[in-house]
Amino acid sequence: MENLLKNLKDTKVINNDPLAKRIAITAISPEKELAVIIMEKLTFDDENVDAQLQQTSTSHKLIQQNDIYHVLLSDSHRRNDKLDNQKVTIIYPATQKHVDKYSKANISLFRETPQKYNDIVKPYIDSLPEKETKWIQALVSGEAENETYYYRGQEFVIAADYKWDKKDFNTLYLQAVVKDMNLKCLRDLRTHHVSLLRSIRREIGNVLKSNWGLNLSQVKLAVHYQPTFYVFHVHVVSVNYSSFPGLNVGQSHLLDDIIEMLSLKSDIFSQMTLTYHLSDLHKLHHLLKPHESDRDLEHGA
Amino acid sequence: MENLLKNLKDTKVINNDPLAKRIAITAISPEKELAVIIMEKLTFDDENVDAQLQQTSTSHKLIQQNDIYHVLLSDSHRRNDKLDNQKVTIIYPATQKHVDKYSKANISLFRETPQKYNDIVKPYIDSLPEKETKWIQALVSGEAENETYYYRGQEFVIAADYKWDKKDFNTLYLQAVVKDMNLKCLRDLRTHHVSLLRSIRREIGNVLKSNWGLNLSQVKLAVHYQPTFYVFHVHVVSVNYSSFPGLNVGQSHLLDDIIEMLSLKSDIFSQMTLTYHLSDLHKLHHLLKPHESDRDLEHGA
């Protein structure tokens, strides 16, 4: 095997998954046979974290520091010995908020009937302080600094999401945000919104085409429920962004499906029980939890 | 920073993501301050694969071999020097099938109108050779060897998916498969199927409760469209299985949503345009692609 590896020719990367830290390569042996090689970083071991920290202290160098954030890189990386290397981020001194942010969340599925929406979720949305949407008002006004706008219209704007580097199309991420602050979420949609939703879809298509020569079959248009903020908006994510964490069923709905459902039944989103998952760090988790019952086992009972 | 790392106490793992190869730890400094430490393996570098293969040849040992499959582990791992290590799988001699399997797929989004379903997709489904569903017939008969059944009823069975190790509930994965071979996929569902779907949901709830004390808020029940095989089935996946690749919008639908939609509009799945992504390794990709047009930009036009 050692000899085989040393004498491989015509190496070609056929896949490189940055989330999974895995790369797949093809190569040809001296006997002209094909080889597929998959290299993958191993998972961390829960058991020996103390020993690992000790090792980090001697084998890693500080490469970046900003206030409480310290970033270390393994020494092997600096030696251009790129096989085994890792990044260590230390937040020190940290607060409980940092601990929560990096802790494994406890997730549950909730079934929000129209009644639960009216009794619990809508009052929660209405109670959110207005200042939380101040940045959205600046965004939809079309004049926010530091924003990259691709479309500014009467009814909505299309801007780059701050998480996108504006270079790698595999991680393309835009947002379309409506200007009507009364249109807050999926629950508010009716048939008369279909023309707005179609024009959002059309303008996203135009933005993709004129800026990067892409078309709508290369992106997913998705709406979150529950969303992070309550002004109706559509996420535009490359279909190749397979490790994107926000496009799971139970948190996301395709704009295409929403348009179809509204076209077939106008009041469907006011009548439907919507099912979604929430982490226990979300306020709604604690508001909804006491109202869950064994009866939920009996769907529609 | 080196001193801080050496003197940390009370280390505690707060998250360990096996897919992302990332671990988060809390610890206390001698000054009794809190620290959050995130260790993450770095991604592979596309550029230097030849150098990496050279390095692999001297720093890795063969730990497993089966026919054409060879598994190597970095030497540091064997020295219990667990910080930096990786697994290398070599398939040699390989065929084009292996190359395809590990290549990055080219994914596109398709909008399947009822007409496209009738003209292209249904004929494709009907043309699939019967032998491909032979294993399903064995499964739903309730007598397949090597299967772990949790429920065997008149209308459907519930079995462990072979991808689940039957130990780790974070990766729990069951399947409910109907016995009626004429009920092939989402498109076939009508209001009169709601009672069947509810009883699948109820029995899954009973299985979770009686076997592991879990309840339905801890799992997602999902239906794929397009599915891998055309006998109607429901996937049961833990909500904590956040890195599960098959639960994205555009490939999966929550059973809860399906029941709601059918309850509100009986023929919705025969009338609705369904949107999904397909890799170009899927036969339907090539059947549908020639029928895509610019008009698809104009939703419903």
* Closest among A50, A49, A94 to A70, alpha carbons compared: A94
pLDDT of residue B164: 83
Predicted confidence band at A161 (pLDDT cuts at 50, 70, 90)? confident
Question: Is the pLDDT reported for residue B213 higher than 90?
Answer: yes
- The Cβ-side half-sphere exposure at B212, using a 13 Å CA radius, reads 19
Considering the domain architecture, whether residues B207 and B80 belong to the same structural domain is answered as: no
pLDDT of residue A78: 53
Considering the domain architecture, whether residues B268 and B135 belong to the same structural domain is answered as: yes
The pairing of strands A233-238 and A252-254 is unpaired
- Which range, of A43-52, A172-181, B78-87, B113-122, averages the lowest pLDDT? B78-87
ipTM for the predicted complex comes to 0.81
User: Which chain B residues are within 8 Å of A98, Cβ to Cβ?
Assistant: 34, 36
Q: Where residue B178 sits, what CATH number does that domain have?
A: 3.30.428.10
User: Which chain B residues are within 8 Å of A218, Cβ to Cβ?
Assistant: 108-109
User: Which chain A residues are within 8 Å of B13, Cβ to Cβ?
Assistant: 46, 49
The helix/strand/coil state of A292 is coil
Nearest to A205 among B26, B272, B297 (CB): B297
Cβ neighbours around B167 below 10 Å, total = 8
> H/E element holding B260?
helix B255-264
Considering the domain architecture, whether residues B259 and B115 belong to the same structural domain is answered as: yes
Strand partners of residue B178: B156
| Interchain contact, A277 vs B239, CB within 8 Å | yes
Question: Is the pLDDT reported for residue A58 higher than 70?
Answer: yes
Question: Is the pLDDT reported for residue A300 higher than 80?
Answer: no
pLDDT of residue B79: 53
Considering the domain architecture, whether residues A120 and A173 belong to the same structural domain is answered as: yes
pLDDT of residue A54: 85
Mean pLDDT over B177-200 rounds to 97
Residue of A nearest to B110 (CA): A217
Considering the domain architecture, whether residues B161 and B217 belong to the same structural domain is answered as: yes
Higher local confidence (pLDDT), B42 or B178: B178
Question: Is the pLDDT reported for residue B187 higher than 60?
Answer: yes
CB pairs under 8 A between A and B: 379
Question: Is the pLDDT reported for residue A77 higher than 60?
Answer: no
- For the beta sheet containing A60-66, the strands, ordered from the edge strand earlier in sequence to the opposite edge, are A60-66, A69-74, A86-91, B34-41, B22-28, B9-17
Nearest to B46 among A8, A13, A292 (CB): A13
User: What are A118-142's pLDDT values in tens digits?
Assistant: 999 999 999 999 887 888 999 999 8
pLDDT of residue B296: 54
Considering the domain architecture, whether residues B19 and B92 belong to the same structural domain is answered as: no
Higher local confidence (pLDDT), B60 or A199: A199
CA distance to partner chain A, nearest, from residue B251 (Å): 9
Mean pLDDT over A237-250 rounds to 84
| Interchain contact, B74 vs A92, CB within 8 Å | no
| Interchain contact, B265 vs A260, CB within 8 Å | no
| Domain end call among B59, B84, B103 | B103
| Interchain contact, A55 vs B81, CB within 8 Å | yes
CA distance to partner chain B, nearest, from residue A156 (Å): 18
CA A280 and chain centroid, separation: 18
Q: Is A81 on the interface with B (CB under 8 A)?
A: yes
Residues 8-67 of A with CB under 8 A from B: 8, 11, 13-16, 18-27, 29, 33-46, 48-59, 62
pLDDT of residue A301: 38
Mutate to test the interface with A, among B90, B91, B263 (most CBs of A within 10 A): B90
Nearest to A109 among B52, B220, B292 (CB): B220
Considering the domain architecture, whether residues A76 and A152 belong to the same structural domain is answered as: no
pLDDT of residue A274: 97
Considering the domain architecture, whether residues A72 and A96 belong to the same structural domain is answered as: yes
Higher local confidence (pLDDT), A84 or A146: A146
Q: Is A264 on the interface with B (CB under 8 A)?
A: yes
User: Which chain A residues are within 8 Å of B99, Cβ to Cβ?
Assistant: 14, 26, 34, 36
Mean pLDDT over A275-287 rounds to 93
pLDDT of residue A49: 87
Considering the domain architecture, whether residues B208 and B63 belong to the same structural domain is answered as: no
Q: What is the rounded distance in angstroms from the CA atom of residue A169 to the CA atom of residue A136?
A: 25
Contact A194, A260 (CB under 8 A): no
Question: Is the pLDDT reported for residue A288 higher than 50?
Answer: yes
CA distance to partner chain A, nearest, from residue B291 (Å): 13
* Closest among B64, B118, B111 to B91, alpha carbons compared: B64
What percent of chain A is modeled with pLDDT above 90? Answer: 59
Question: Is the pLDDT reported for residue A240 higher than 50?
Answer: yes
Q: What is the rounded distance in angstroms from the CA atom of residue B195 to the CA atom of residue B211?
A: 24
Considering the domain architecture, whether residues B282 and B149 belong to the same structural domain is answered as: yes
Mutate to test the interface with A, among B17, B43, B60 (most CBs of A within 10 A): B43
CA R_g for chain B: 24
CB contact burial A112-143 (16+ within 10 A = b; e otherwise): bbeebbeebbeeebeeeeeeebeebeebbeee
Question: Is the pLDDT reported for residue B288 higher than 80?
Answer: yes
Mean pLDDT over A13-30 rounds to 90
Catalytic residue, candidates A233, A253, A286, A291: A233
Residues 180-209 of A with CB under 8 A from B: 197-198, 201-202, 205
CA distance to partner chain B, nearest, from residue A146 (Å): 29
- Which range, of A253-262, B92-101, B202-211, averages the lowest pLDDT? B92-101
User: What are B12-42's pLDDT values in tens digits?
Assistant: 999 988 888 899 999 999 999 999 999 998 8
| Interchain contact, A82 vs B6, CB within 8 Å | no
Contact B236, B211 (CB under 8 A): no
Mean pLDDT over B97-105 rounds to 87
Considering the domain architecture, whether residues A271 and A203 belong to the same structural domain is answered as: yes
Strand partners of residue B12: B26
Mean pLDDT over A255-271 rounds to 96
Question: Is the pLDDT reported for residue A92 higher than 90?
Answer: yes
pLDDT of residue B181: 92
User: Which chain A residues are within 8 Å of B35, Cβ to Cβ?
Assistant: 90-94
Question: Is the pLDDT reported for residue B301 higher than 50?
Answer: no
Question: Is the pLDDT reported for residue A200 higher than 90?
Answer: yes
- Which range, of A227-236, A244-253, B228-237, averages the lowest pLDDT? A244-253
Considering the domain architecture, whether residues A251 and A157 belong to the same structural domain is answered as: yes
Residue A120: which domain range? 105-297
Q: How many domains in chain A? A: 3
pLDDT of residue A52: 84
Q: For this structure, is B77 an active site residue? A: no
Q: Is A102 on the interface with B (CB under 8 A)?
A: yes
Average per-residue pLDDT for chain A = 89
For residue B232, give every residue at least 6 positions away whose Cβ sits within 8 Å of its Cβ, in sequence order, or none.
B177, B178, B180, B183, B184, B185, B188, B189, B223
Query: CA torsion sign, B233 to B239 to B242 to B248?
Result: positive
Alpha helix segments (H runs only) across chain A: 2-6, 49-59, 75-78, 96-102, 114-116, 122-127, 134-140, 194-212, 255-264, 268-271, 283-288
| Interchain contact, A268 vs B273, CB within 8 Å | no
Predicted confidence band at B300 (pLDDT cuts at 50, 70, 90)? very low
pLDDT of residue B66: 87
Q: What is the rounded distance in angstroms from the CA atom of residue A256 to the CA atom of residue A278?
A: 24
Q: What is the rounded distance in angstroms from the CA atom of residue B205 to the CA atom of residue B147?
A: 20
Predicted confidence band at B84 (pLDDT cuts at 50, 70, 90)? low
pLDDT of residue B245: 74
pLDDT of residue B77: 56
| Interchain contact, B95 vs A257, CB within 8 Å | no
Question: Is the pLDDT reported for residue B179 higher than 60?
Answer: yes
Mean pLDDT over A10-35 rounds to 92
pLDDT of residue A19: 80
| Interchain contact, B36 vs A218, CB within 8 Å | no
What percent of chain B is modeled with pLDDT above 70? Answer: 94
Question: Is the pLDDT reported for residue A108 higher than 80?
Answer: yes
pLDDT of residue A286: 93
Question: Is the pLDDT reported for residue B75 higher than 80?
Answer: no
Predicted confidence band at A2 (pLDDT cuts at 50, 70, 90)? confident
